[in-house]
Amino acid sequence: MINSEEIMQLIESLIWLLAGVGVFIVGMNFLSDALEKSAGSGMKRLLEKISNNRFSGVGIGAGVTAIIQSSSATSVMVIGLVNAGVMTLMQAVPIIMGANIGTTITGVLVALKNDFFDMTMYLLAFAGVMMGFAKKEKIKLAGSLCCGLGLIFVGLEVMSSEQAFGNPLVEKLFIGIFEKVNFPLLLILIGVIFTALIQSSSAATGVVITMVGTGVLPLDLALFIILGANIGTCVTALLASMGANANSKRVALVHFTFNLIGTVIFAAIIWIFKDSIIHLLTSAFPGDDKMSLQMRVSLFHVIFNVTTTLCLLPFVKQLVKYACRVIKDKKEESESLSFKFVDDRLLSTPPVALMQVKKEIDYMASLVQENIKLSFVAMDSGSAEYGEKIAQNEAIIDFTNSELTKYLIRLSANVEASDERKIGAYFHVLNDLERIGDHAENFHEIGIEMLNRNITFSDKALGGINDMRDTVIKMFDVSKDTFENLNRDQLISLTELEQKVDDMKIELIADHFNRLAEGNCSIEVSPYYSSVVVGLERVADHLVNVGYSIVNPTGSQKIEA
């Protein structure tokens, strides 16, 4: 019988164990967030290389996951990109496969744990905390990275300490549990549930590796729990796909199917050839020391994910067809406005979200430019045929301005200081583009009203307007190139064109009043002519603001209505 004192010791040890798991998970989150922010440009470069080559897809998936230390975060990010239409299902599947390989790095780090390594990590955690008091953002970020990495090993040490597993009652408890729960399918289920609860296969693997190192969990049973952890990590992706489009749900389904197939195959092999597999792992890392025991589990985790990927990579098309057959496309009764490149799921990876915001603004700019051109085509031809297209584009422009502003506000809470300036610039660019869109609508309305009233510009007046319009259209190309490609060399050209438009406005208004004085122009034309000329000059001002946003994100060059 266990007396009350032993029960209290047992409870105390379990609390130490749970505390270790908690510190480990906090460290994982710290490390993941810090790596994600500091390696934002690296993730961008990798994602910009997305292609239909499945091998490069696996490499990108492994690389991104190695950067942010979370296959779940990679999966959610991929689902967000697929939902936004940036990535196809065929491109997404290899990346998901690669993510499973990238996540094995954490297990290897945990397995390398030794006294010298532990002391180094503890000092790193302390240094990270001290760096958090620095004023420079980069030092703070480096501090978060060091603190996260250190806390992982602090958590592991707490889990494997005498206070946790050193108590004979705790060892007896776990050994007794695993003696009764030694059926492979039940162990896999434990792995699934545990990983689903803590939302991290890396953390679950770390706990299992630690338990094997302390001797409370036999290696043959640990392998099945590791298999279950790979299925459990799919829960995050499945939850993220809820409310998304059909392709996003298919990504989550393929992720689950991929890990399920690998688990079934490996579970069958281990079940049948258990002694041979244990012998091979033991031969790879002989000895009974803690590191050897832990490295066996880590090695198996690497072999499982690499082998599963190599086996199923040739069947990407078949997996995609299967997912499309299971999840059918739904016919939507009514089309609603939505982003083309941005998705809420990308908020969990701010560098990628910011990259997609840029694409969304570029798309908005192309619609604004199209509306400017269409409004003048309608004015020149005296036709209302482009009115519907202009209205459709304007609805998207207004939606993008409003909703992307809200999105940026949410995103700004999670970005690093250097990206805050960029978000400030985007706020101003959205406002300027929306104003230009309003001017395009005004130009079209002027054309329609003149058509209805049977009023036309004189040839000389129309020639002046066309020259001014062509200069503004040229400014649009220069401004877009400056903003989209961060091309500072174009700023001088942009300023010169804007000055030319200002001079043209003065000249055209003066010529117009001279024609009125000479009786060569109808007074009825005057308000329309002035509105077009002034409107074009204001469009030019907004285009200068868009171009200069790359060097002056805190405010516009000119303030125009």
Is residue 118 within 8 A of residue 7, CB to CB? The reply is no
Is residue 459 within 8 A of residue 503, CB to CB? The reply is no
Q: How far apart are the first and last CA of the chain?
A: 84
What's the half-sphere exposure (Cβ side, CA atoms, 13 Å) at 219?
Answer: 24
b/e for 270-287, b at 16 or more Cβ within 10 A? beeeeeebbeebeeebee
Q: Compute the residue count for the chain.
A: 561
Residue 360 has pLDDT above 80, yes or no: yes
My answer on whether 353 and 313 are in the same domain is: no
Q: What is the model's pLDDT at position 331? A: 58
Closest CA to 201 of 256, 164, 250: 256
Is residue 20 within 8 A of residue 158, CB to CB? The reply is yes
Closest CA to 157 of 116, 198, 202: 116
In a domain, residue 397? The reply is yes
Q: Nearest 5°: phi and psi at 409? A: -60, -45
My answer on whether 292 and 150 are in the same domain is: yes
Q: What is the model's pLDDT at position 309? A: 93
Closest CA to 211 of 232, 197, 199, 229: 229
My answer on whether 172 and 23 are in the same domain is: yes
- For 9, residues 6+ apart whose C-beta sits below 8 A from its C-beta are 167, 169
Q: What is the model's pLDDT at position 289? A: 78
Q: Which amino acid is at 453?
A: R
Q: Which amino acid is at 556?
A: S
Q: Looking at residue 430, which CATH number applies to its domain?
A: 1.20.58.220
What span, in angstroms and rounded, lies between the C-alpha atoms of 226 and 297? 8
In a domain, residue 304? The reply is yes
- For 443, residues 6+ apart whose C-beta sits below 8 A from its C-beta are 372, 375, 376, 379, 532, 535
Residue 39 binned pLDDT confidence (cut-offs 50, 70, 90): low
Is residue 226 within 8 A of residue 191, CB to CB? The reply is yes
Could you tell me the two tokens for 308? 């599963």
Q: Is 120 exposed, middle or buried (0-12, 13-18, 19+ CB in 10 A)?
A: middle
Q: Count other C-beta atoms under 10 Å from residue 515's C-beta.
A: 18
* Integer CA distances (angstroms), 246 to 52, 89, 106, 205, 346, in order: 20, 10, 32, 31, 17
Last residue of a domain, one of 291, 326, 361: 326
Is residue 159 within 8 A of residue 41, CB to CB? The reply is no
Is residue 285 within 8 A of residue 298, CB to CB? The reply is no
Residue 551 binned pLDDT confidence (cut-offs 50, 70, 90): low
Is residue 371 within 8 A of residue 440, CB to CB? The reply is yes
The string of pLDDT tens digits covering residues 533-550 is 999 999 999 999 988 886
In a domain, residue 200? The reply is yes
Residue 555 binned pLDDT confidence (cut-offs 50, 70, 90): very low
Residue 161 has pLDDT above 80, yes or no: no
My answer on whether 51 and 142 are in the same domain is: yes
Bigger pLDDT: 378 vs 150: 150
Q: What is the model's pLDDT at position 166? A: 65
Q: What is the model's pLDDT at position 556? A: 46
In a domain, residue 355? The reply is yes
In a domain, residue 524? The reply is yes
Closest CA to 148 of 37, 43, 232: 37
In a domain, residue 27? The reply is yes
My answer on whether 179 and 214 are in the same domain is: yes
Angle, in degrees to the nearest 10, between helices 184-198 and 246-272: 140
Q: Is 382 left (phi over 0), alpha (psi -120 to 50) or beta?
A: left
Number of domains present in the structure of the chain: 2
Last residue of a domain, one of 277, 295, 326: 326
Q: How far is CA 472 from the centre of its chain?
A: 35
Helix, strand and coil in the chain, % to nearest 5:
80, 0, 20
Could you tell me the two tokens for 1? 């019988």
Measure the CA angle with vertex 61, ends 422 and 203; round to 5°: 95
My answer on whether 365 and 305 are in the same domain is: no
In a domain, residue 353? The reply is yes
- Please compute the mean of the pLDDT values over residues 434-462 and round it to a whole number: 86
Q: What is the model's pLDDT at position 111? A: 80
Residue 490 binned pLDDT confidence (cut-offs 50, 70, 90): confident
- Please compute the mean of the pLDDT values over residues 441-451 and round it to a whole number: 86
- Please compute the mean of the pLDDT values over residues 12-37 and round it to a whole number: 80
Q: Which amino acid is at 428?
A: H
Helix residue ranges, H only, 453-560: 459-484, 491-518, 526-548
My answer on whether 262 and 200 are in the same domain is: yes
Q: What is the model's pLDDT at position 38? A: 65
My answer on whether 155 and 9 are in the same domain is: yes
In a domain, residue 561? The reply is no
What span, in angstroms and rounded, lies between the C-alpha atoms of 173 and 11? 11
My answer on whether 300 and 200 are in the same domain is: yes
Residue 96 has pLDDT above 50, yes or no: yes
- Please compute the mean of the pLDDT values over residues 478-493 and round it to a whole number: 83
Mean pLDDT of all residues belonging to the chain: 83
- For 473, residues 6+ apart whose C-beta sits below 8 A from its C-beta are 369, 372, 373
* Integer CA distances (angstroms), 322 to 94, 240, 258, in order: 15, 20, 12
For the chain, the farthest-separated pair of C-alpha atoms sits apart, in whole angstroms, at 116
Bigger pLDDT: 367 vs 237: 367
Residue 561 has pLDDT above 50, yes or no: no
Closest CA to 435 of 354, 546, 338: 546
pTM: 0.72
Bigger pLDDT: 402 vs 421: 402
My answer on whether 305 and 441 are in the same domain is: no
- Please compute the mean of the pLDDT values over residues 424-440 and round it to a whole number: 92
Q: What is the model's pLDDT at position 72? A: 76
My answer on whether 350 and 312 are in the same domain is: no
- Please compute the mean of the pLDDT values over residues 275-284 and round it to a whole number: 90
Residue 560 binned pLDDT confidence (cut-offs 50, 70, 90): very low
Q: Nearest 5°: phi and psi at 343? A: -145, 145
Segments forming the whole domain that contains residue 540: 344-548
- Please compute the mean of the pLDDT values over residues 69-78 and round it to a whole number: 78
Q: What is the model's pLDDT at position 260? A: 94
Residue 383 binned pLDDT confidence (cut-offs 50, 70, 90): low
Residue 559 binned pLDDT confidence (cut-offs 50, 70, 90): very low
What span, in angstroms and rounded, lies between the C-alpha atoms of 360 and 77? 17
Q: 3-class secondary structure for 66-100?
A: HHHCCHHHHHHHHHHHHHCCCCCHHHHHHHHHHHH
Measure the CA angle with vertex 534, ends 532 and 540; round to 5°: 100
My answer on whether 415 and 466 are in the same domain is: yes
Residue 263 has pLDDT above 90, yes or no: yes
Residue 108 binned pLDDT confidence (cut-offs 50, 70, 90): confident
